[in-house]
Structure 1
Amino acid sequence: MNLSDDVDLEDWVARPDKISGADINSICQEAGMQAVRENRYVVLTKDLEKAYKNVVKKDTNDFEFYK
Structure 2
Amino acid sequence: MADWGPVIIAVVLFVLLTPGLLFQIPGRNRVIEFGNMHTSGAAILVHAILYFGLITIFLIAIGVHIHTD
**For this structure pair, what is the TM-score category when the shorter chain's length is used for normalisation?**
0.3 to 0.5
TM-score w.r.t. structure 1 length?
Answer: 0.44
Q: Which has the larger radius of gyration?
A: 2
Greater percentage in strand: 2
Greater percentage in helix: 1
TM-score w.r.t. structure 2 length?
Answer: 0.43
